[in-house]
Structure formats: structure tokens, C-alpha cells
């Protein structure tokens, strides 16, 4: 069995969490801080959908492995905030992906529409930077990757 998406999913989670600890926050127009790494997070949610196609409900083991590796390799506080946010948002993503009978491309879009704002709100809340502007900015930046992949997958009619 091929595990290329599962491996990419785990590696990308660790990379993103490491990036959150080294890439500085950018100040927005209203004085809030926005993490540029949130642009990459949208791809994580889509990779999870592809990885789940490979390994089914064993995706929870891949999520756990990525969380442990992130905690060990990135800033522990940031990684813990990310793991908490990720567990909540990925549970929603998993449920939508698993239980809707929509075509794959539609499940990618629908699960991202639900999970990315959850992830943003929980992550910002845990690190003490919760604001509407921050949640909106992070959600929009995460959805960019999801929309690009959705368009590609939809064009292939997968």
C-alpha cells in the first residue's frame, strides 16, 4: 500500500508547527498579529483528506504521530496550542469527510469551510491572541490553499 499522502500529511504538520515557532507574526492594519504560516495550514486540512483516502480511520494515528513530533521538534507552547486546535478542527474535518456522501472534491471544500475557522479560533484563543480580525485573517489564508486544491481536484472530477 502507498502512504505518500499520509507521510506528506505528517511531515507538513511538523513543518507548519516548526514554522509557527520561527516565522515572525505580521502586524495587521488594526494592530492585531497574523501568522504568515497560516497560509500553509489550509494545505494540511486537504492533505488529511487525501491521507484518509489512503488509510481510512487510521488517520487518527497519523494525527497523533504528527502531534507528538511537533511537540518534540517545535516550540512546545506553540505546538501544544496547535495540537489542541488541530484535534478539534480535524475531528470536525474527519466527521464531515467520513459521513457526507458528497464527491471527494466537495468534501474537501466543505470540510475546510468548517475546520479552518475552528482551528483559527482555538489556536488564537490558546495562545492568547483571540480576535475576530485574527480569526478571519487566518481562516481566509487557510482557505486559499483549500480552494486551490479543490479547484484542481474538481477539474479532475475525483
Question: What's the pLDDT score for residue 1?
Answer: 67
Question: What's the pLDDT score for residue 71?
Answer: 86
Q: Mean per-residue pLDDT for 35-58?
A: 84
| Residues 69 and 14: beta-carbon distance below 8 Å | yes
Burial 36-47 (b: 16+ CB within 10 A, else e): ebbbbbbbbbbb
From residue 124, alpha-carbon distances to 1, 36, 64, 140 in Å are 38, 13, 21, 14
Question: What's the pLDDT score for residue 77?
Answer: 84
Amino acid at each position: 500500500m502507498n502512504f505518500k499522502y499520509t507521510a506528506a500529511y505528517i511531515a507538513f504538520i511538523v513543518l507548519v508547527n516548526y514554522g509557527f515557532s520561527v516565522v515572525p507574526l505580521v502586524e495587521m492594519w488594526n494592530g492585531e498579529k497574523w501568522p504568515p504560516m497560516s497560509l500553509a495550514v489550509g494545505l494540511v486540512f486537504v492533505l488529511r483528506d487525501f491521507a484518509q483516502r489512503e488509510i481510512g480511520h487510521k488517520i487518527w494515528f497519523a494525527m497523533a504521530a504528527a502531534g507528538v513530533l511537533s511537540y518534540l521538534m517545535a516550540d512546545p507552547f506553540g505546538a501544544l496550542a496547535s495540537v489542541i486546535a488541530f484535534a478539534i478542527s480535524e475531528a470536525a474535518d474527519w466527521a464531515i469527510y467520513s459521513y457526507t456522501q458528497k464527491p471527494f472534491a466537495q468534501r474537501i471544500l466543505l470540510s475546510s469551510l468548517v475546520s479552518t475557522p475552528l482551528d483559527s479560533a482555538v489556536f488564537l484563543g490558546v495562545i492568547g491572541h483571540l480576535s475576530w480580525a485574527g480569526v478571519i485573517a487566518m481562516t481566509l489564508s487557510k482557505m486559499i490553499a483549500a480552494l486551490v486544491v479543490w479547484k484542481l481536484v474538481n477539474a479532475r472530477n475525483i
